[in-house]
Amino acid sequence: MTEVDENRAAPEFLTVRELAELLRIKERKVYELAASGEVPVSRVTGKLLFPERDIRAWIAGGSSGGPAGPAVRRPDIFLGSHDPLLDWAIRQSRCGLATRFDGSLDGLSRFAAAEGVASGLHIRDAASGEWNLPRVAAACADQNAVLVAWARRRKGLVVRPEDKGRIGSIADLVGRTVVPRPPETGTQAMLEDLLAAECLDPADLSFCESAPTEDDAVRAVAQGGAEIAFGLESGARLFGLHFVPVVEERFDLLVDRAAWFEPPLQRLLAFCGTDSFRAHAAATPGYDISELGTVRWNA
């Protein structure tokens, strides 16, 4: 091993070779440690990179999963918000992951409690306008986790064809029957923020029974159970309804680093690189997956 220049700043990340030299082990062993989640690791553009600060803490503390302590075996469950494209990919890839789509806020809380390997999120910070990062950084600072991009989605008002031209903004919801989402969802939180921005009281709207998923909310409008849903363009087009765009939201995936290298998530990620997935995404209105896989935050 070459002598280290003490005046040179330590690298933020170590390569496989550099970590092997530091630990005095073979590079093959480094890959095994990364796959098992025994060392803090991040994968960017197909490369394994090891946060130098976390590696030093791992060595000093003798832990098995980074500075947060020993790795916890999480159940193979995908938590968080329901995204139709993600739901389809999980099923189509036959990756073996179960799903519990009970909303972004529910998923974030359950992920922090190690109740799943990943969580889909679209939580907008009203103060900064930033998506997901503020809440994830606050809730998961001690987690062995990474936040990666999934898609940008167009969200807005889904209305009946006969109401085209009559409903064109959030202000037009007054006096209308709207499909709510559960309070743990990012969609409901965002709708309430938009109402507040227009100085509207939710009591001015008539809410029907809440819908557990994005598709259920749009279906309620299509079947005549409500006049409006705050939902995705993809759902509106699928059911032949009119869509009024309001916001482009960011949908990200909060993933446990150790689980990232396990077969279920690896099968899902491999499927997302196929022509079948890309064709399906391209045919889904209102989706932009150009940033898929981009690391947005590292614990």
* Cβ atoms within 10 Å of 165's Cβ, excluding its own: 8
Nearest-angstrom CA–CA distance, 233 and 243: 6
Question: What is the token pair recorded at 214?
Answer: 């994005």
- Predicted confidence at residue 46, as pLDDT, reads 62
- Region 154-161: mean pLDDT is 96
Query: Cβ(116)–Cβ(79) under 8 Å?
Result: yes
Nearest-angstrom CA–CA distance, 85 and 145: 23
Percent of the chain with pLDDT over 90: 68
Question: What is the token pair recorded at 8?
Answer: 């040179």
**CA separation, residue 242 to residues 159, 187, 234, 236 (Å):** 5, 19, 11, 6
pLDDT digits (tens, 9 = 90+) for 225-270: 999 999 999 999 999 999 999 999 999 999 999 899 899 999 999 9
Question: What is the token pair recorded at 20?
Answer: 């092997």
pLDDT digits (tens, 9 = 90+) for 108-120: 999 999 999 999 9
- Predicted confidence at residue 274, as pLDDT, reads 96
Tokens 């998506």, residue? 131
Tell me: pLDDT of 1 over 50.
no
Nearest-angstrom CA–CA distance, 207 and 227: 10
Nearest-angstrom CA–CA distance, 123 and 75: 24
Query: Cβ(261)–Cβ(146) under 8 Å?
Result: no
- Predicted confidence at residue 40, as pLDDT, reads 79
- Predicted confidence at residue 44, as pLDDT, reads 59
- For the ranges 71-80, 102-111, 158-167, the lowest mean pLDDT is seen at 71-80
Overall size of the chain counted in residues: 299
